[in-house]
């Protein structure tokens, strides 16, 4: 059943560093709000069941499945999507983005935003990871194209590049 | 030409579109909004007739703008290359999930609600699920002409010939008489679901009598042709926009949901209508053909293979055809893996009430290789020969005339293998995986508590991904500033083919790669591609034709430049944005001085060449030479003898890509194919409860595609071997396809490794813990 408009609630989220006031329905999912209301289509929807990981965004720095998260729960939180890292307009890439290009951690690209965001949150906790730790970190995001090796290599290269520096 | 002399060939140049992919700016079909949302009502029965559909309640629901049933569709079938021709909707449903009706509404929630309001009366029919059972005359019939989709099929015409596809040479009776050891065994393979992360998706919209379809497809011109035919409209009025695809693997061709979206849109006054399959629909509508295969192999004491007889039943489900089943045996590929003296391959492609078969990365070859290597290993064991040594005796090499005796069916050319370093690849793969650790078939590498380790090896071969015939159009436009536009009919699935094609053109013209742009992704450019991104062919076929077009464009420029340079046209070369006298580069004229605007050449294969008429898709690469790719795979596994769980520890795969255009892309293709077929080998389990008509694998929790921790390090042995030929002859710069080739031997090598670790053969995929335990139990009870 469609919910009545009166049940809408105004929430404020900081999306990619910008405060956004959005009126949401109680059952509206964060992934849909990001994609359909804010036009941030870099976040992908692959299964709507929290299984493929393609919808991963960072909420207060932690990777969260936006297809299972109600937008209404994000009141007052910081949301980071793929559009919020690097500066695409200036052609400036985050070291992770750069490494995914250089080491070919991308094929069809559908899981890429989730992979990069997941890796970003992970490298902040563990800046000098080994291969197994990286695999564990990205285990929740399915890539059907690459067989993961070039993704792992990309993340290793980015970790090396980011050593001792702070990147937003 | 040695590798060092190339500027762009052999260089790992990152695809240009990766910038957009890593920044989230790459726009997939799902990133577009549409006015209406379409949903499909699917059959709850595996086999039924629709006696009556009442849509009155659906139509009354507020927000519903179009409803479609079998009564509303044109009486013309959709011609399809990978699935059987079918009506857009029909009153006969053939599997659980088959399309029954459809609705378009203003929101997805309304469309979903509407699905519950259809009232359908079914006459449930008896169903058949086993492809071998389904060949019997008493089995339930899915089609008037029978369940077997014979070899003489057409895209439109139904020909249930009840005959197998046969590939045969020599005399197997004689061959088996000569044999000292005969091994006979069978394997069973379950369907594998492609599972791209982007599910099938399209948006249809009409403006007047013109239809635009945004869709994720591997074969846009086939979609255009097929929809135009079924809707009875000119092809030029159907525009397919297909620039971004979130994974295909053989799943994304023309399917019913696309013309359904078109008809819903039409009924709704042309409003854009989006259909996105849910993950459940994605997992329960089509997949790699399941199969049951028996193989009988005869060998002499010295290891020579005297005869092979393979009989396979491939499960086409409701609507597959032989391309998704035996696939005409991948143009004889499994038969050419070894020097079989006498052979008969018999493939039965059979309709059942299962999901539809569609080609999936390697089509039937991973399955066939599993069936064959299972007996190859047993034969070698019976002869007490090392698995590597046995294969070395029987592998063909470059210049081996294959098959050993002429085909009885002339559609398969008999020719020498071109650049085929199979034995060298096998030796190097064996070395890389430290094969000397192998202590014998019955002796695991190591046993520690309940864990036992084993090694397995497998050989196969696949098509080279090269189509001389073409069936694809390529245009090369040389601008007067020397830069180049390519208009191409091919489809880049995310495999980087746009980039490799730009590298090929930049190399041939001696210009910076930044000066080469490529236009593809929209049928409005009219560069027909007969079969789409299939068979690892995009780069090879399009690349070959781009080189032919470049050669023609150069000839035009030579004609224009000859009088000015005061030489004959043949004395002129065109490179680096200028025309110059060969050997005297200073006698040159820049294109900007020579050309008023552009020189443009278009080439394309003769559409009459295409596979199904002429009979062979991969013809000779040069007179008397055929391109095939040798494939070797080796695996090391650890099996928990108590739980049956198999953990792959290492995989080494060996391939010959001819010459690599872009090594990083080639490696990415090889690794990706290994991971996908590893999923087929071990974890991805299609489960259908025949009694209750329910799929039990309908989520990515139940259907386990490999995740990062599942996939072990994958190592590659890559041997480049190239025959020098003129640029416009053969694969571009000697390159071959890569997409499917590394995955062909994975299932087989894992099975052989499990045998080495446990002492038992697992003959059914996926080789889950459950099946391994069952095999162990069978062995303990004295079964073999």
Please state the rounded mean pLDDT for residues B24-29: 96
If asked whether residues A13 and A57 sit together in one domain, one would say yes
- For B282, the closest chain A residue by CA position comes to A47
Look at residues B700, B650, B661 and name the one whose alpha carbon lies nearest to residue B542. Answer: B661
What's the pLDDT at A90?
Answer: 80
Same domain, A80 and A100: no
**Domain limits, chain B:** 3-26+467-613, 32-125+194-286, 412-464+620-784
Q: Considering A35, A51, A84, which residue would you say is the last residue of a domain?
A: A84
Chain B interface includes A120 (CB < 8 A):
no
Instruction: Domain B32-125+194-286: give its CATH architecture.
Output: Alpha-Beta Complex (3.90)
* B647 inside 8 A of chain A by CB: no
Strands B290-299 and B305-317: antiparallel
Same domain, A71 and A111: no
In a domain, A28, yes or no: yes
- Closest Cα to residue B657, out of B539, B550, B507? B539
Confirm whether A24 is domain-assigned.
yes
Cβ partners under 8 Å of residue B538, min gap 6: B490, B491, B492, B493, B495, B497, B737, B739
B294 in contact with A, Cβ within 8 Å: no
Contacts B195 to A, Cβ<8 Å? 144
**pLDDT band, very low/low/confident/very high, at A6 (cuts 50, 70, 90):** low
Residue A3 lies in a domain: no
pLDDT for res B178:
98
Q: Among partner residues A104, A148, A152, which is closest to B14 by beta-carbon distance?
A: A104
The confidence score (pLDDT) of residue B728 equals 79
Interface test with B, best of A42, A145, A150 (most B CBs within 10 A): A145
Residue A51 lies in a domain: yes
Q: What is the DSSP string of B73-124?
A: S-S--B--SSB--B-SS-SEE-STT-EEEEEEESSHHHHHHHHTT-EEEEEE
Per CB-CB distance under 8 Å, the chain A contacts of B673 are 147
Contacting residues of B for A47, CB less than 8 Å apart: 279, 699-700
Residue identified by tokens 């849509």 is: B55
- pLDDT tens, residue by residue, A62-110: 999 999 999 999 999 999 999 999 887 788 999 999 999 999 999 999 9
| pLDDT-above-70 percentage for chain B | 95
Q: Over 50: is that where the pLDDT of B268 sits?
A: yes
Same domain, A66 and A113: no
Question: Which residues in chain B have Cβ-Cβ distances shorter than 8 Å to A147?
Answer: 671-676, 706, 711, 714
Please indicate whether, in this complex, the C-beta atoms of B21 and A109 are within 8 angstroms of each other: yes
Q: Which domain CATH number covers A67? A: 3.10.20.30
pLDDT tens column, B214-242: 999 999 999 999 999 999 999 999 999 99
Domain B3-26+467-613 has what CATH class?
alpha beta
How far apart are the C-alpha atoms of B746 and B762, rounded to whole Å?
A: 14
Of A51, A84, A117, which marks where a domain is finished? A84
Which overall architecture, per CATH, does domain B412-464+620-784 show? 2-Layer Sandwich (3.30)
- Confidence band (pLDDT; 50, 70, 90) for B1? very low
ipTM computed for the complex: 0.96
pLDDT at residue B534, rounded to an integer: 82
Determine whether the interchain pair B197/A136 forms a contact, defined as Cβ–Cβ distance below 8 Å: no
| Confidence band for B330, pLDDT divided at 50, 70 and 90 | confident
Over 50: is that where the pLDDT of A1 sits? Answer: no
Give domain status of residue A168, yes or no.
no
Is the confidence at residue B180, as pLDDT, over 90? Answer: yes
Asked whether the beta carbons of residue B671 and residue A108 sit closer than 8 angstroms, the reply is: no
Does one domain contain both A120 and A67? no
Q: Is the pLDDT of residue B784 over 50?
A: no
- Identify which of B24, B700, B714 has the shortest CB distance to residue A149: B714
- The answer as to whether A90 is a domain residue is no
CA quadruple B26, A48, B47, B704: dihedral positive or negative?
positive
Residues A14 and A39 in one domain: yes
Average pLDDT, chain B: 93
Look up residue B642 and give its two tokens. Answer: 């108590």
Q: At A151, which CATH number?
A: 1.10.150.120
Give the domain extent around A18: 8-84
Q: Which residue of B has its CA nearest to A147?
A: B672
The C-alpha angle with vertex B623 and arms to B621 and B624, in degrees rounded to 5, equals: 95
Instruction: Supply the pTM of this predicted model.
Output: 0.96
Residue B270 CA to residue B208 CA, distance in Å, equals 8
Residues A105 and A148 in one domain: yes
In the prediction, which pLDDT does B611 show? 47
Residue B322 scores a pLDDT above 90: no
Domain boundary among A84, A112, A139: A84
Residue B77 near residue B86 (C-beta atoms within 8 A): yes
- Measure the CA–CA gap between A72 and B673, rounded to whole angstroms: 41
Domain count, chain A: 2
Task: Inform me whether the C-beta atom of residue B62 falls under 8 Å from chain A C-beta atoms.
Answer: no
- Please check the confidence at residue B783 and state whether its pLDDT lies above 50: no
Q: Is B435:B455 a contact under the CB 8 Å cutoff? A: yes
Report yes or no: B490 and B497 within 8 Å, Cβ to Cβ: yes
A15 and A79 housed in the same domain: yes
Closest to B261 in 3D by CA, of B432, B89, B376? B89
**Among B26-40, B90-104, B341-355, B459-473, where is mean pLDDT lowest?**
B459-473
Average pLDDT over residues B436-440: 96
Which tens digits make up the pLDDT trace of B758-773? 999 999 999 999 999 9
pLDDT at B412: 76
Q: Give the model confidence (pLDDT) of B504-554 as tens digits.
A: 999 999 999 999 999 999 999 999 887 888 888 888 889 989 999 999 999
Tokens encoding B15: 């695809």
Query: Backbone phi, then psi, for A145, in 5-degree steps?
Result: -95, -50
Q: Do B3-26+467-613 and B412-464+620-784 share a fold?
A: yes
Of the candidates B107, B249, B671, the beta carbon closest to that of A146 is on B671
Q: Which of A41, A46, A81 sits opposite B198 (nearest CB)?
A: A46
Q: Which residues of A touch B671 (CB under 8 A)?
A: 146-147, 149-150
Check B246 against A110: CB less than 8 A apart: yes
Model pLDDT, residue A74: 97
User: How near does any CA of chain B get to the CA of A11, in Å?
Assistant: 23
| A50 and A77 together in one domain | yes
pLDDT of B617 over the 70 cut: no
Residue with tokens 């259909």: B275
A78 and A49 share one domain: yes
Q: Enumerate the residues of chain A whose CB falls inside 8 A of the CB of residue B699.
A: 47, 49, 51
Residues A12 and A43 in one domain: yes
**Residue B601 pLDDT greater than 80, yes or no:** yes
- Are residues B495 and A146, on separate chains, in Cβ contact within 8 Å? no
Nearest to A47 among B664, B665, B700 (CB): B700
Q: Are A76 and A16 in the same domain? A: yes
What is the average pLDDT across B485-502?
93
Q: Reduced to 3 DSSP states, what percent helix, strand and coil does chain A have, rounded to the nearest 5? A: 35, 15, 45
User: Stretch B450-466: mean pLDDT, rounded?
Assistant: 91
pLDDT in tens, B686-734: 999 999 999 999 999 999 999 999 999 999 999 999 988 888 788 899 9
């Amino acid at each position: 059943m469609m919910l009545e408009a009166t049940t809408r609630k105004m929430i404020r989220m900081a999306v990619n560093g910008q405060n956004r006031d959005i009126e949401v329905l109680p059952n509206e999912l964060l992934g849909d709000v990001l994609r359909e209301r804010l036009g941030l289509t870099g976040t992908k929807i692959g299964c709507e069941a929290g299984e493929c990981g393609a919808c991963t965004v960072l909420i207060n720095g932690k990777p969260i499945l936006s297809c299972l998260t109600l937008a209404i729960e994000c009141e007052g939180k910081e949301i980071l999507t793929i559009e919020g890292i690097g500066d695409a307009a200036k052609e400036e890439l985050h070291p992770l983005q750069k490494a995914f290009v250089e080491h070919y951690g991308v094929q069809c690209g559908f899981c890429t935003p989730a992979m990069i965001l997941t890796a970003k949150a992970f490298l902040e906790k563990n800046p000098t990871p080994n291969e197994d730790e990286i695999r564990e970190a990205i285990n929740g995001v399915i890539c059907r194209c690459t067989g993961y090796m070039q993704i792992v290599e990309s993340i290793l290269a980015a970790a090396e590049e980011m050593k001792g520096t702070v990147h937003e | 030409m040695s590798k060092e002399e190339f500027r762009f060939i052999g260089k790992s140049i990152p695809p240009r579109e990766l910038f957009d992919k890593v920044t989230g700016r790459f726009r997939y079909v799902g990133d577009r909004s549409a006015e209406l949302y379409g949903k499909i009502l699917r059959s709850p029965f595996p086999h039924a007739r629709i006696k009556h559909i009442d849509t009155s309640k659906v139509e009354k629901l507020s927000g519903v703008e179009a409803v479609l049933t079998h009564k509303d569709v044109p009486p013309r079938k959709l011609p399809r290359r990978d699935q059987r021709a079918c009506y857009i909707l029909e009153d006969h449903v053939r599997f659980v999930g088959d399309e029954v009706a459809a609705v378009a509404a203003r929101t997805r929630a309304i469309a979903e609600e509407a699905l519950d309001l259809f009232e359908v009366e079914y006459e449930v029919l008896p169903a058949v699920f086993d492809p071998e059972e389904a060949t019997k005359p008493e089995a339930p019939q899915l089609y008037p002409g029978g369940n077997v989709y014979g070899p003489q099929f057409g895209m439109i015409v139904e020909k249930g010939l009840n005959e197998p596809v046969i590939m045969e040479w020599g005399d197997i009776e004689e061959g088996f008489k000569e044999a000292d050891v005969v091994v006979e065994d069978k394997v069973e393979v379950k369907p594998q679901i492609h599972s791209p992360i982007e599910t099938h998706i399209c948006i249809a919209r009409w403006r007047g009598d013109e239809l635009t379809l945004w869709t994720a497809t591997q074969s846009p011109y086939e979609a255009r042709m097929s929809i135009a035919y079924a809707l009875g409209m000119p092809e030029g009025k159907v525009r397919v926009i297909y620039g971004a695809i979130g994974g295909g693997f053989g799943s994304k061709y023309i399917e019913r949901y696309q013309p359904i979206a078109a008809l819903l849109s039409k009924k709704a006054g042309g409003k854009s209508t989006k259909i996105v399959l849910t993950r459940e629909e994605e997992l329960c509508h089509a997949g790699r053909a399941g199969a049951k295969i028996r193989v009988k192999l005869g060998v002499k004491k010295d290891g020579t293979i005297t005869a092979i007889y393979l009989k396979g039943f491939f499960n086409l489900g409701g609507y597959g055809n032989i391309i998704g089943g035996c696939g005409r045996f991948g143009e004889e590929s499994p038969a050419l893996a070894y020097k079989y003296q006498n052979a008969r391959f018999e493939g039965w492609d059979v309709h059942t009430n299962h999901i539809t078969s569609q080609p999936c990365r390697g089509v039937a070859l991973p399955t066939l290789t599993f069936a064959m290597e299972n007996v190859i290993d047993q034969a070698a064991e019976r002869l007490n020969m090392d698995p590597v040594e046995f294969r070395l005796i029987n592998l063909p090499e470059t210049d081996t005339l294959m098959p050993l005796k002429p085909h009885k069916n002339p559609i398969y050319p008999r020719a020498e293998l071109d650049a085929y370093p199979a034995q060298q690849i096998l030796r190097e793969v064996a070395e890389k995986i430290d094969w000397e650790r192998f202590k014998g078939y019955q002796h695991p590498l190591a046993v520690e508590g309940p864990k036992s380790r084993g090694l397995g090896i497998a050989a196969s071969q696949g098509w080279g991904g090269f189509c001389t015939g073409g069936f694809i159009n390529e245009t090369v436009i040389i601008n007067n500033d020397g830069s180049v536009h390519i208009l191409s009919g091919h489809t880049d699935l995310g495999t980087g083919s746009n980039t490799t094609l730009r590298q090929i053109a930049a190399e041939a013209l001696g210009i910076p790669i930044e000066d080469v742009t490529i236009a593809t992704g929209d049928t409005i450019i009219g560069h027909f591609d007969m079969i789409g991104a299939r068979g690892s062919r995009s780069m090879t076929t399009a690349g070959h034709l781009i080189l032919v077009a470049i050669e023609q464009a150069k000839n035009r420029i030579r004609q224009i430049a000859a009088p000015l340079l005061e030489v004959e046209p043949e004395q002129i070369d065109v490179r680096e944005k200028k025309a110059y006298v060969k050997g005297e580069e200073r006698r040159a004229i820049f294109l900007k001085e020579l050309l008023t605007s552009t020189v443009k050449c278009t080439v394309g294969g003769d559409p009459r060449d295409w596979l199904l008429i002429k009979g062979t898709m991969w013809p000779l690469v040069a007179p008397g030479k055929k391109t095939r790719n040798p494939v070797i795979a080796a695996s090391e596994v650890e099996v928990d003898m108590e739980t049956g769980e198999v953990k792959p520890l290492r995989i080494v795969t060996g391939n010959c890509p001819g010459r690599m255009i872009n090594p990083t892309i080639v490696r990415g293709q090889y690794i990706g194919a290994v991971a996908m077929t590893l999923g087929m080998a071990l974890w991805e389990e299609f489960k259908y409860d025949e009694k209750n008509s329910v799929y039990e694998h309908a989520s990515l929790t139940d259907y386990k595609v490999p995740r990062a921790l599942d996939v072990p390090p994958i190592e590659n042995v890559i041997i480049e071997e190239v025959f020098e030929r003129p640029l416009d002859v053969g694969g571009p710069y000697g390159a071959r396809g890569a997409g499917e080739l590394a995955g062909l031997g994975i299932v087989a090598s894992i099975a052989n490794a499990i045998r080495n670790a446990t002492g038992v053969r697992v003959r059914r995929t996926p080789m889950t813990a459950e099946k391994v335990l069952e095999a162990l139990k069978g062995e303990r009870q004295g079964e073999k």
